[in-house]
Amino acid sequence: MPCTLKDLAQPVCLTIIYNLSNRTLVDSFIDCGECNLKTELDPVNKNLTIRVPLVLEGEVTFGDNPFQSGCVTTGVHLG
């Protein structure tokens, strides 16, 4: 019989780096943990860095086979 863990939440920090000169996305990534909403502009290479605090919510289900599990994201909110 499967086991489901519900109401899981994890604060994360989404970082987006965008080059204003080229109008291109340079990089984006998520780090575990909290951060503050923040923007920075590098005047030399014109990279705009945006950090956004988020809370990811979800649930995990473990199946009858001990090597099977699945997760579902149930919500994404500003942290």
What pLDDT digit, counting tens, does each position of 28-63 carry? Answer: 999 999 999 999 999 999 999 999 999 999 999 998
Length of the chain: 79
Work out the percent of the chain whose per-residue pLDDT is above 90. Answer: 89
Average predicted confidence (pLDDT) for the chain? 96
Domain total of the chain: 1
Question: Which range marks the domain in which residue 27 is found?
Answer: 3-78
DSSP helix/strand/coil, 61: strand
- What CA–CA distance (Å, rounded) separates 47 from 23? 10
**pLDDT number for residue 68:** 87
